[in-house]
Amino acid sequence: MAPYDVIVAGGGPSGATTAFYAAKAGLNVAIIDRSCFPRDKACGGLLTARLLDELPELRPYIEPVIECPSRDVNLYSPSLKHRIDYVFPLGTPWNVRREVFDHALLEAARDAGADVLTETRVTGYQFNGGVKVTTSRGDFRSKMVIGATGPNDMLAGQVRQRRNLNPWNDREMAIALMWEPVVGKEFIDSAFGDNRSLLVHFKPGGIEGFGWVFPKEGRLNIGFGGYKHSMKLVKLREIWKEYISLLKKDGYFPQEHPVPPVKGAPIPLVGPMKATTMDHTLIVGDAAGMVSPLSGEGIYYGMHAGKIAIKTIKNALKTGNFTQAYLDAYHRDWSMVFGNELSDLAFFSRMVLKMPERMVYYGTRDKKLCEIFADLFLGITPGGLGKKKPMARTLFNAVRYPYFGLG
Ligand SMILES: Cc1cc2nc3c(=O)[nH]c(=O)nc-3n(C[C@H](O)[C@H](O)[C@H](O)COP(=O)(O)OP(=O)(O)OC[C@H]3O[C@@H](n4cnc5c(N)ncnc54)[C@H](O)[C@@H]3O)c2cc1C
Ligand 1 near 247 CB (within 6 A): no
Which pLDDT score is estimated for 288? 98
Q: Render pLDDT for 111-150 as a digit per residue (tens, 0 to 9).
A: 999 999 999 999 999 999 999 999 999 999 999 999 999 9
Q: Does residue 401 register a pLDDT over 90?
A: no
Ligand 1 near 149 CB (within 6 A): yes
Q: Render pLDDT for 45-87 as a digit per residue (tens, 0 to 9).
A: 999 989 999 999 999 999 999 999 999 999 999 999 999 999 9
CA atoms of 106 and 11, how far apart (whole Å): 7
Ligand 1 near 223 CB (within 6 A): yes
CA atoms of 93 and 1, how far apart (whole Å): 45
Ligand 1 near 41 CB (within 6 A): yes
Closest CA to 308 of 283, 340, 291: 283
Per the prediction, the chain carries an average pLDDT of 94
Q: Which domains does the chain have, with CATH numbers?
A: 4-68+94-169+269-343 (3.50.50.60), 173-267 (3.30.9.100), 347-400 (no CATH)
pTM: 0.96
Q: Omega before 38 cis (within 30°)? A: yes
Position in ligand 1 atom list of the atom nearest CA 287: 26
What is the whole-number distance in angstroms between the Cα of residue 12 and the centre of ligand 1?
6
Q: Pick the more confident residue, 133 or 385.
A: 133
Give nearest CA residue, ligand 1 atom 38: 149
Q: Render pLDDT for 298-321 as a digit per residue (tens, 0 to 9).
A: 999 999 999 999 999 999 999 999
**Cβ-contact 17, 101 below 8 angstroms:** no
Closest CA to 282 of 218, 334, 222, 350: 334
Position in ligand 1 atom list of the atom nearest CA 45: 8
Which pLDDT score is estimated for 385? 84
Q: Can you spell out the DSSP letters for 158-182?
A: HHHHHTT-PPP-TTTEEEEEEE--B
